[in-house]
Amino acid sequence: MEAPATAEGGDLFWLDRSTLLAGRGYRTNDDGIAQLRALLGGAVDVVAFDLPHFRGPDECLHLMSFISPLDVDLVVAFLPMLPVRLLQILRARDIGVIEVPDDEFASMGPNVLALGPRIALALAGSPETRRRMEASGVDVRTYEGNEISMKGEGGPTCLTRPLERG
């Protein structure tokens, strides 16, 4: 990317092979989204959403801070932060949404890494979100992240970046 464009991986989410969701916020800007569209050409639809201000530019909040894919037809999400149009797109495509309860947003309940279809790595500390994922047929694996995740404000999606999604 060329300045002043910025685009951060946590703000990008492949919904399918031809749809890239982009969160526009403090770390991904309009120029970055425009350059992504130009780089990907007409083969990929880049759909941008404004991210909430929440606690401001000093807090690391990304699109994937409140939504994570679990399979081609299933996501886990914190609905109070989800852009309306994004929720409408998910529903129009019959993509199921496992809702993270309000009290599990701070423990990074929606920040889950799909290791494979319906196999998830989650930060320990969101028992109701875990129960809901398991009730939806997701094999949930957890890790204690008091040092690396909670202090660094980064869940499993922040610690990795998948190169390919099946």
Range(s) of the domain holding residue 141: 66-159
Reference 112, options 166, 160, 150; nearest CA is 160
**Do 98 and 48 have their domain in common?**
no
Question: 69, 95 in Cβ contact below 8 A?
Answer: no
Residue 8 belongs to some domain of the structure: yes
Which pTM value belongs to this model? 0.87
**Do 13 and 34 have their domain in common?**
yes
93 φ, ψ to 5°? -95, 10
Residue 165 belongs to some domain of the structure: no
> How far, in Å, CA of 141 to CA of 72, rounded?
19
pLDDT of residue 86: 95
Residue 164 belongs to some domain of the structure: no
pLDDT of residue 1: 87
Q: What are the pLDDT digits (tens) for 92-116?
A: 999 999 999 999 998 888 999 899 9
pLDDT of residue 46: 97
Q: What are the pLDDT digits (tens) for 11-59?
A: 998 999 999 999 999 999 999 999 999 999 889 999 999 998 877 677 6
What is the torsion angle, in degrees rounded to the nearest 10, for the CA atoms of residue 14, residue 15, residue 16 and residue 22?
-50
**Do 32 and 83 have their domain in common?**
no
Structure tokens at 63: 């699109």
